[in-house]
Structure 1
Amino acid sequence: MHILITNDDGPPSDQSSPYVHSFVSTLQAHGHTVSVVLPHTQRSWIGKAHLVGKSIKPTYFRPSPLQTDDGGRLHNTGTTSTHPLPVGHKDEEWILVDSTPASCVQIGLYHYFKERGPIDLVISGPNYGRNSTAVFSLSSGTIGGAMEAAVCGVKSIALSYAFFDRNHDAAIISGASELSAKLVHHLFTNWDSNTHLYSVNVPLVENVGSRRILFTHMLQNRWKSGSCFQVIEVPSEDDDTPSDVENQIRKAEEKLGRKELHRQEGTSSGTQTPSGQEHIRYTHQHFKWAPRFKDVYDSVEESEAGNDGWAVAQGYTSVTPLRANFMHAGGAEGEIKLDS
């Protein structure tokens, strides 16, 4: 099978993209032809966006062999060049583009790899962290990449690794990649005709291959603590980079993930102006993105069994079939007549 890989975390990196090299190597060991087009830097939380009006320039990444230190932790290295290797060169080379996961998919499907034959499947991921529940999924660049493939008529899977510890244990990551490769093959050969793409969340836990794999629905949750933005007094001249923000998010996810793992092992609203009161002019303010992810984890804890967030919290792999559209809610038919 010819598989195109993209992600929203960028090229292999211990800090921001620790899983993609392991997964690509595992797919290759299973006999697949794997082509890779990734964003050249972190592009999380961007959904299915394209950077309209921007010229896209490729660079070329050559992954070094995966390394494991004395503590059993996985390390990712490689080199980047502005020019591709010459035709016929045998070293592995991936394409990096200064754009989004969705754009990577378009470029990978239509502008490279013709000599390798048609692409059978697009896999976006493995994401550094879970993409479960509506709040995460609707903004996910990982799912956005898979959505782009689906609207191009190509089968696709959004793959995410839900971590409980950021030490990147090589054996656990290898187990997740092995399970994912087998699951990818199963889904591809048993594809449901009503499904455009699958969102798969694999928990990074020991012996994940022996744990349950469940079809799930996506938990419909929401932000309930108020704004995702924090008012700040004076904006810093040096804003946090997307990688800085992602690192902060992952620290919070690790803390909450450890809580989930422990459980496995043991078993502001806005104000309104009163009616008739004179409108109060707004004040000049600055804002910083600071969502309260506790809303997401609380929604999972309060939900019933069967959704994607619940499955991951139990240490199970979740498989959520999706369609690449905003589905009609139903119940609304006929003509609308306004009151005169």
Structure 2
Amino acid sequence: MPPSPILRILLSNDDGYFAPGIEALAAALGDLGEITVVAPERDRSGASNSLTLDRPLHLRRSANGYFYVNGTPTDCVHLAVTGMLEQQPDMVVSGINLGANMGDDTIYSGTVAAAMEGYLLGVPAVAVSLTSKEGKHFATAARIARATVERFRRSPFDGPVLLNINVPDLPWEEIRGVKVTRLGRRHKAEPVVKQVSPRHETVYWVGAAGAAADAGEGTDFHAVANGYVSVTPLQIDLTHAAQVGAVTEWLAR
């Protein structure tokens, strides 16, 4: 049996290069290939797919060998794939995020956006999130990430793929399995929180995400709530195909 190929793996996140999640990810994948970490210099949660176009980006290297960029998660992957790396990576793995990225969260998520940028550039990509802000079991999510990369190495997809993986914040022994899911939906977000600053200025905090609305069987919310790892294949086409006919008719009136 021929030896498994050495993978070139690009790691990124939206929590910053100093986050425990990316450290756990790098440690888990370290012996599977050539690992390069390019992550934001600070927490850029909620940055979505934004690119920095109004100023130059700086690429620096920290003492632990990780590279960091004064930009967004998308900037990091775009810079790495299109300018920094001599060879295109075989995979982009983003995470491990502190907190879930399920349902509507994927629209805002910098973690998903980093993986999505790899996918848009033709690289198979995976976003991995730990579904709790407590962050007790990064080791569980890291183990899932490793198993995913090992599976990709054994049996790569024919074309680019974008997987959104959410892992319950549980010990490995309590994970009940893995389910392929669709995105659920949330209720609308809570209202903004209005406050007065010490300088007597009115400030606003974005409200909390809404509770799960569409969380039935088959959704990412349902899988995680029942102790399963959720794996959702994502696509980029936002066209509302079912409304094409209706809009065509409406414009003809």
TM-score, normalised via structure 2 length: 0.86
SS of equivalent residue, structure 2 residue 148: helix
Q: CA deviation at 1:183?
A: 1.8
Residues 58 and 304 from structure 1, CA distance in 2 versus in 1: closer, same or farther, beyond 3 angstroms?
Answer: same
Partner of 1:248: none
Aligned-pair identity in percent equals: 24
Pick the structure with more strand per residue.
2
Q: Which structure ranks higher in relative contact order (CA pairs < 8 Å, sequence separation ≥ 6)?
A: 1
Change in 2 beyond 3 A, CA 1:173/1:221:
closer
2:186 counterpart of 1:221: yes
- 116, 124, 127: which one pairs with 1:147? 116
CA contact (8 A) 1:197 1:324 kept: no
Distance 1:25 1:224, change over 3 A: closer
Residues 193-233 of structure 1: CA deviation (Å, up to 9, x unaligned): 687411001122112585210000000223165x3x2233x
For the residue of structure 2 that corresponds to 1:133, the secondary structure is coil
Counterpart of 2:93 in structure 1: which amino acid? I
Give how far 1:325 is off. Answer: 2.9
CA-CA distance at 1:21 after TM superposition: 0.9
Gaps of 5+ in 1: 64-92, 239-284
- Provide the residue aligned with 2:149 in structure 1: 184
Gaps of at least 5 residues in structure 2 are 1-6
Confirm whether residue 24 of structure 1 aligns to residue 26 of structure 2: yes
Partner of 1:83: none
Alignment of 1:325 onto 2:253 = no
Q: Give me the whole-angstrom Cα distance separating, in 2, the residues matched to 1:195 and 1:60.
A: 29
1-side partners of 2:61 and 2:158: how far apart?
Answer: 36
2:131 is the alignment partner of 1:162: yes
Change (3 A) 1:336 1:189: farther
Q: Structure 1 residue 37: deviation in Å?
A: 0.4
Alpha-carbon distance in 2 for matches of 1:176, 1:224? 27
Displacement after TM superposition at 1:338 (Å): 5.1
Identify if the C-alpha distance between structure 1 residues 214 and 208 changes in structure 2 by more than 3 Å, giving closer, same or farther: farther
Cα deviation 1:133-185 (Å, max 9, x = unaligned): 11x1110000111111111111111111123734x4xxx43333122201233
Q: 2:83 aligns with which of 89, 111, 132?
A: 111
Decide which of 144, 167, 172 is 1:207's aligned counterpart. Answer: 172
**Quick check: which has more Rg, 1 or 2?**
1
The amino acid of 2:48's aligned partner reads G
Q: Is the 8 A contact 2:128 2:141 kept in 1?
A: no
**Closer, same or farther in 2 for the Cα pair 1:46/1:4, shift >3 Å?**
same
Indicate how the Cα distance of structure 1 residues 304 and 194 shifts in structure 2: closer, same or farther if over 3 A, else same: farther
Is 1:8 aligned to 2:14, yes or no? yes
- Aligned partners of 2:129 and 2:167 also within 8 Å: yes
1:16-61: CA deviation from partner (whole Å, max 9, x where unpaired)? x2221121111013x2111110100010001000122111112211
Shift of 1:121: 0.7
